[in-house]
């Protein structure tokens, strides 16, 4: 469904368009939001709340953050799914198989 939406919205497969350009700077720019900002932002928010928010705000934030993480872990335990991989034939999409472990090549070893 997502590739069809990409074709409708962008006129082509967006993943292929973005991955056509291979440069180290683009890799770093793509990594920053997920590798740095995603993990640093909650700590920065906690620091700002500690310094400027009303007393007790940080405690509520920390408890909510912990419950949110717990719910995320439980969802992944009860509804496991494979990460996005290369397209696979239908016969490989059986519950007993993990598709990404069966795919050889770029997806498995992270090579470009």
9 and 24 together in one domain:
yes
| Pair 87, 46 in one domain | no
What integer pLDDT is reported at residue 72 of this predicted model? 93
* Total of domains in the chain: 2
Mean of the per-residue pLDDT values of the chain = 77
Q: For 28-74, write each residue's pLDDT tens digit.
A: 888 888 888 888 999 999 999 999 999 999 999 999 999 999 999 99
Q: Assign 3-class secondary structure to 74-110.
A: HHHHHCCCCCCCCCCCHHHCCCCCCHHHHCCCHHHHC
State whether 96 and 72 are in the same domain: no
Work out the average pLDDT over 87-100.
50
Same domain, yes or no: 69 and 88: no
Give 18 or 101, the one with higher predicted confidence.
Answer: 18
């Amino acid at each position: 469904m997502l590739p069809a939406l990409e074709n409708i919205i962008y006129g082509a497969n967006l993943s292929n368009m973005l991955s056509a350009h291979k440069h180290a700077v683009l890799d770093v720019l793509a990594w920053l939001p997920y590798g740095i900002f995603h993990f640093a932002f909650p700590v920065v928010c906690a620091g700002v709340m500690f310094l400027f928010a009303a007393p007790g705000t940080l405690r509520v934030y920390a408890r909510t953050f912990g419950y949110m993480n717990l719910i995320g872990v439980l969802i992944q335990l009860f509804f496991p799914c494979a990460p996005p991989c290369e397209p696979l034939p239908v016969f490989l999409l059986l519950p007993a198989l993990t598709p990404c472990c069966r795919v050889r090549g770029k997806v498995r070893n992270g090579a470009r």
